């Protein structure tokens, strides 16, 4: 029986797949699947390559109800910039969930990861942020600072954005970029406490190892999404904020306890509520989301293989619809 | 900086890469690297997909001295034959060990795995079999029965082959195939005990869960390579044979204790010699190989990510030399 594998470059993926409500919806379905059971998601396979100053992570997840499962390889080689190459790369392979045959290779250099990470932020905002968000704040000034705010805007069409970063010039550039892409008022601010005070929705997008958002800054009607921590040792939110909030939600409870904000809180003895709610449980209604408009909510996103499977499945449909990619007969 | 990924199909790989001494040599170097240290080889990542009657394994290894590292994905979907598809598939991706960039995708459907598995058998025979082998026996009648004997013949050019399998017709076909490919006398036999008695080199290539080779059959001047067991529960060699032999060698001691012949022997309390020698230690001279011509030796091959990295590196050079494959600019 003839079989074809579709090879798709980053440029083609950028043309075919965008950060839009359809991408958010497929990632939301992945979280729902995680909560519903039947998901097979082994721990991340990791190699630390000291000799090459590099590391490689491999993630995968099988989700009932999805036609395929992705295997994602994410290398980080930190001597690359000296060679004129980016440190981070990456690709995904999508396999048929029915036959195990390879369907597509996405040479995305991390683009699909960027999308699925931002889409998870939109899912968190959709289910946890106050109905009415006038101002959104972002702490951090990188690619995810932009994408998280664009994603949140899909589900909470706020009119104003505040940006804080350690480097004021980068914060100003990020604000200008967001003003242009979203058509909203956007400005850099000097004080992260003031940013939080003025926002109903805040996203932290940094690789911080010391908290950049203090518990004292929490105020009624605030939602915070912390998406920077993805390794043990990273920590963006002051530990006591998690228990202080009305609701703390993990993308994956076990993983957040190892790699996310939950880790610091548990180690400090400041989280004793047992297993936290997971985002998929909020989506499916298995656990309640935001209660009152004045509640404080926090969502901890560490990134799951389930999101990779979702975005890869979505990308295959989008690429096929465009007739893009190179078909290889095997 | 422009970068290209080479996409290579099974047909092109079969044209470019053969089971020959060069393939054996590169796999031998991988075993030497395993023994020399500095290798990063995480445990296999596995998914059991009950809903799809399938399983997926992911293997990798970084080897000092190799330009690349492979990540291999091996799906097995056991309802495929009803769809006219093979149960087993698989592909490898080769990454630069210096930059982490993807160099090549080998859509090999398991062909490279077949080669590296057979090549390991040749390495075992080269270092452990008696200098003089007149008759080689094989237990099993599948693809590896053929390839293991062809591989062993590269390093021990015997003149006669005996084949035993549960299905006598398949054994006869396998013998005829080997007679044709090697130009040697080859015949199927009814009795595996007689096969072992008449051979100086025996390879077991079955998925047996009960021993197919008895300890009582061992005789002076015999080498046995057992390559069938690659999961806990599989077992080809009677447990007490391992300690009874003059030398038992594992491809990877920890893995053989989990997945190979060593597992059954340890569980039966019949292996108390501690960590066995590894094939790479024999290759590098860190531990002695065969002593006297009359020694009995056994080698237990469970398959390692190191072999995948070796054969993928070898394949890339061979494919480039032919100008084969499709180059994708990324």
Percent of chain A with pLDDT over 70: 99
Cα atoms in the 13 Å half-sphere on the side-chain side of A44: 23
- Is B64 within 8 Å of chain A by CB? yes
Average pLDDT, chain B: 96
Distance from CA of A159 to the nearest CA of B (A): 37
Residue A73 CA to residue B100 CA, distance in Å, equals 10
- Is B105 within 8 Å of chain A by CB? yes
Taking residues B90-113, report their average pLDDT: 97
- Is B181 within 8 Å of chain A by CB? no
Domain ranges, residue A96: 4-113+306-329
Taking residues B72-96, report their average pLDDT: 95
Q: Which residues of A touch B9 (CB under 8 A)?
A: 328-330
Taking residues B223-243, report their average pLDDT: 92
* Res A1 pLDDT > 60: no
- Is A60 within 8 Å of chain B by CB? yes
The answer on B232 and B136 residing in a single domain is yes
Say whether B304 sits in a helix, a strand or coil: coil
* Res A48 pLDDT > 90: yes
Nearest to B192 by CA among B163, B167, B218: B163
User: Are the C-beta atoms of residues A160 and A137 closer than 8 Å to each other?
Assistant: no
Q: Say which range, A85-89, B76-80, B188-192, has the weakest mean pLDDT.
A: A85-89
Percent of chain B with pLDDT over 90: 93
Taking residues A80-87, report their average pLDDT: 93
What is the model's pLDDT at position A253? 95
* Res B233 pLDDT > 90: no
Taking residues A199-221, report their average pLDDT: 96
Taking residues B147-176, report their average pLDDT: 98
The answer on B171 and B104 residing in a single domain is no
The answer on B230 and B212 residing in a single domain is yes
The answer on A297 and A311 residing in a single domain is no
- State the pLDDT confidence band at A229, using cuts at 50, 70 and 90: confident
Dihedral sign (CA A230, A235, A237, A239): positive
The answer on A238 and A173 residing in a single domain is yes
The answer on B81 and B54 residing in a single domain is yes
Number of domains into which chain A is organized: 2
Q: Say which range, A83-92, A249-258, B9-18, B230-239, has the weakest mean pLDDT.
A: B230-239
- State the pLDDT confidence band at B1, using cuts at 50, 70 and 90: low
Average pLDDT, chain A: 96
The answer on A278 and A142 residing in a single domain is yes
Q: Which residues of B touch A54 (CB under 8 A)?
A: 100
What is the model's pLDDT at position B39? 95
CB-closest option in A9, A95, A330 to B9: A330
Report ipTM (2 d.p.).
0.91
The answer on A142 and A89 residing in a single domain is no
What is the model's pLDDT at position B75? 96
* Res A296 pLDDT > 80: yes
The answer on A211 and A129 residing in a single domain is yes
DSSP character for B276? P
What is the model's pLDDT at position B293? 95
Residue A92 CA to residue A69 CA, distance in Å, equals 10
Q: Which residues of B touch A76 (CB under 8 A)?
A: 100
- State the pLDDT confidence band at B230, using cuts at 50, 70 and 90: confident
| Interface touch B100/A9, C-beta < 8 Å | no
* Res A63 pLDDT > 80: yes
* Res A169 pLDDT > 80: yes
What is the model's pLDDT at position A330? 87
The answer on B318 and B298 residing in a single domain is no
| Nearest residue of chain A to residue B55 (CA atoms) | A100
Query: What CATH number corresponds to the domain at position A78?
Result: 3.30.1780.10
Distance from CA of A67 to the nearest CA of B (A): 11
Tokens of B326: 């499709």
The answer on B290 and B183 residing in a single domain is yes
Residue A282 CA to residue A116 CA, distance in Å, equals 18
The 3 state secondary structure assigned to B90-111 is CEEEEEECCCCCEEEEEECCCH
Taking residues B97-101, report their average pLDDT: 96
Residue B148 CA to residue B127 CA, distance in Å, equals 15
Tokens of B210: 């009960």
* Res A282 pLDDT > 80: yes
| Interface touch A326/B326, C-beta < 8 Å | yes
Taking residues B66-95, report their average pLDDT: 95
pLDDT digits (tens, 9 = 90+) for A134-148: 999 999 999 999 999
What is the model's pLDDT at position A233? 84
| Interface touch A9/B89, C-beta < 8 Å | no
Bridge partners (DSSP) of residue B40 are B62
pLDDT digits (tens, 9 = 90+) for B116-131: 999 999 999 999 999 9
Query: What CATH number corresponds to the domain at position B268?
Result: 3.40.50.720
* Res A189 pLDDT > 80: yes
CB-closest option in B43, B80, B91 to A99: B80
The answer on A265 and A186 residing in a single domain is yes
Q: What are phi and psi of A329, to 5 degrees?
A: -80, 135
Taking residues B203-211, report their average pLDDT: 94
Q: Which residues of A touch B51 (CB under 8 A)?
A: 38, 64
In whole angstroms, how far apart are CA A126 and each of A123, B202, B271, B286? 5, 65, 59, 61
């Amino acid at each position: 029986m003839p079989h074809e594998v579709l090879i798709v470059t980053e440029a083609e993926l950028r043309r075919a797949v965008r950060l839009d409500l359809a991408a958010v919806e497929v990632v939301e379905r992945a979280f729902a699947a995680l909560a519903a059971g039947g998901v097979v998601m082994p721990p991340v396979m990791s190699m630390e390559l000291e000799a090459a100053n590099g590391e490689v992570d491999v993630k995968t997840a099988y989700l009932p109800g999805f036609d395929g499962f992705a295997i994602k390889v994410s290398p980080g080689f930190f001597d690359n910039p000296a060679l004129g190459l980016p440190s981070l790369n990456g690709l995904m392979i999508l396999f048929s969930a029915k036959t195990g045959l390879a369907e597509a290779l996405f040479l995305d250099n991390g683009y699909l990861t960027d999308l699925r990470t931002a889409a998870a932020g939109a899912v968190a905002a959709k289910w946890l942020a106050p109905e009415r968000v006038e101002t959104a704040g972002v702490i951090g000034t990188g690619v995810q600072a932009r994408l998280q705010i664009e994603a949140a805007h899909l589900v909470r069409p706020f009119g104003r954005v505040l940006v804080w970063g350690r480097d004021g010039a980068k914060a100003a550039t990020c604000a200008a970029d967001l003003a242009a892409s979203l058509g909203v008022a956007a400005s850099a601010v000097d004080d992260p406490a003031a940013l939080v005070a003025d926002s109903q929705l805040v996203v932290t997008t940094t690789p911080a190892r010391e908290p950049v958002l203090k518990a004292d800054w929490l105020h009624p009607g605030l939602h915070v999404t912390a998406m920077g921590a993805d390794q043990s040792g990273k920590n963006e939110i002051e530990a006591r904020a998690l228990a202080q909030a009305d609701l703390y939600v993990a993308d994956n409870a076990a993983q957040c306890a190892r790699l996310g904000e939950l880790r610091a809180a548990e180690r400090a003895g400041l989280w004793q509520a047992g297993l936290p709610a997971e985002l998929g449980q909020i989506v499916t209604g298995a656990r309640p989301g935001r209660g009152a408009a004045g509640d404080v909510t926090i969502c901890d996103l560490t990134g799951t293989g389930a999101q990779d499977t979702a975005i890869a499945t979505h990308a295959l449909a989008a690429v096929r619809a465009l007739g893009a990619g190179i078909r290889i007969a095997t």
